[in-house]
Structure 1
Amino acid sequence: MPMYRYKCKKCGHEFTVLHSMNENPEIHCELCNGAAQRVLSRVAVIFKGDGYYITDSKKEHNHLSSEENNSHNNCMNCEHVVD
């Protein structure tokens, strides 16, 4: 179950509440019992796998033999189709 961040409309107090994504409960402030509104916050994103970073390199032309691959690296207008 996700935690949602809420902010009181009356006093501005911010707090978190744990509830289901399918629920839309009426949340009240813990301090003044005023109506609270859900606020958006930043979300951590983790990319896993190859190809997400600029330092990653693609594996190119695995179907070519090493001799063909060496000659391929020198070509200026590559039109090889990778299967």
Structure 2
Amino acid sequence: MPTYSYRCTACDNAFDIHQQFADASLTECSSCGGQLRKVFGNLGVTFNGTGFYRNDSRSASKPVSSSSASESGGTTSGT
């Protein structure tokens, strides 16, 4: 169940409560009867590191293809 933060607009009473998605939002402060507002904060997700790039999934050395091997000095016929 998600945790929601509320703050009263009249008395500044702040609290957190576990509610299901289907539950209605709280609207009345239990301390003074004032209007409650949901408090939205920063997300609890942190992305650390360099990220994921296209070259991260490739090997460090490039494989030699068959066409470049024959051009670069494969066996020669004739002489």
TM-score range, shorter chain: 0.5 to 0.7
Percent sequence identity is 21
TM-superposed deviation, 1:60: 1.7
**Higher radius of gyration, 1 or 2:** 2
Structure 1's consecutive aligned runs of 4 or more residues displaced over 6 angstroms after TM superposition are none
* Alignment length (residue pairs): 62
Please give the TM-score of this superposition, normalised by the length of structure 1.
Answer: 0.54
The letter for the 2-side match of 1:31 is S
- 1:60 and 2:69 are equivalent in the alignment: no
Q: What are the ranges of 5 or more consecutive residues in structure 1 without an aligned counterpart?
A: 70-83
Corresponding residue number in structure 2 for 1:9:
9
Displacement of 1:61: 5.1
Q: Give the superposition deviation at 1:43.
A: 1.6
TM-score, L = length of structure 2: 0.56
Unmatched 5+ stretches in structure 2? 66-79
